[in-house]
Amino acid sequence: MDTPFSRIYGPVLRTMVFLLWALIPRYGQAQEKPGHLLITPLTGDFFIYTTWHMLGDKPYPANGLYVVTAQGVVLFDTPWDSTQFQPLLDSIACRHQKKVIICVATHFHEDRTGGLEDYTRHGIRTFTTLQTDQLSEAHGQKRARYLILKDTSYRVGACRFEIYYPGPGHSPDNIVVWFPDQRILYGGCLVKSTQATDLGNLSDADPLSWSQSIKHILKKFGQPAWVIPGHLSWDNNQSLQHTLRLLAAYQKGK
């Protein structure tokens, strides 16, 4: 109904609604809209990038993380979609005017390691653990140039992070990355998003040990401010607890 109120205030209200919609944080929603490459700010110099891969007839998202430092960009995992190996590097260079200098893969599956050899050819220093390298060789996956032989703390510019192997879970070799200053846990596929309804791909999983590995993380790092899972949303920091619930349900259903 056209009223004096609607004629006078209607455009203003529509503008306000649009502005409120535009200002709603998008960081937890990146996975809900399939695309080729999506980069989402997390906090400060930390960014989540998402690529998709077809599983059956549906695209499924995979998350990676990168952090911008004065020395260059440190990348964790590679895109799942091989067509996005170069676009990710180009997007980072355009957005931050810096090159990727280091790439660390968190386990041997293709959604983590697929771009390692391509990135090595670009002069990027690529890393996996020795266990991941052995599994990558055995399964015909891409391999890094450098090996991480034990849990180690690193510093690149002002960014500090720790590589931690909590034990087997999603895969025998899955590691997590901890950023103590920001209290960010990059969990990779060891950690299930609160959006997940099951444990996903169990082809290389050890469900019996998985719960203990998650508990090791909680004991070592406490409650992170941000928890980034390998797939789906990161819109709250309860993914570790949710993973334990999924594992309990799995064991109960066996």
Give me the CATH topology for the region 33-253. Answer: Metallo-beta-lactamase; Chain A (3.60.15)
**Catalytic residue at 201?**
yes
**Choice among 77, 107, 174, 242 that is catalytic:** 107
pLDDT (mean) for 74-103: 97
Q: Measured between alpha carbons, how far is 75 from 98 in angstroms, rounded to an integer?
A: 12
**Is the pLDDT at 20 greater than 50, yes or no?**
no
Across the chain, what does the average pLDDT equal?
89
Residue 174: per-residue pLDDT: 98
**Catalytic residue at 111?**
yes
Residue 36: per-residue pLDDT: 84
**Choice among 77, 111, 118, 133 that is catalytic:** 111
Q: Measured between alpha carbons, how far is 214 from 243 in angstroms, rounded to an integer?
A: 8
Domain ranges of the chain: 33-253
pLDDT (mean) for 94-113: 98
Residue 56: per-residue pLDDT: 83
* Cα separation values, 152 from 10, 122, 155, 161, 203, Å: 59, 25, 10, 9, 28
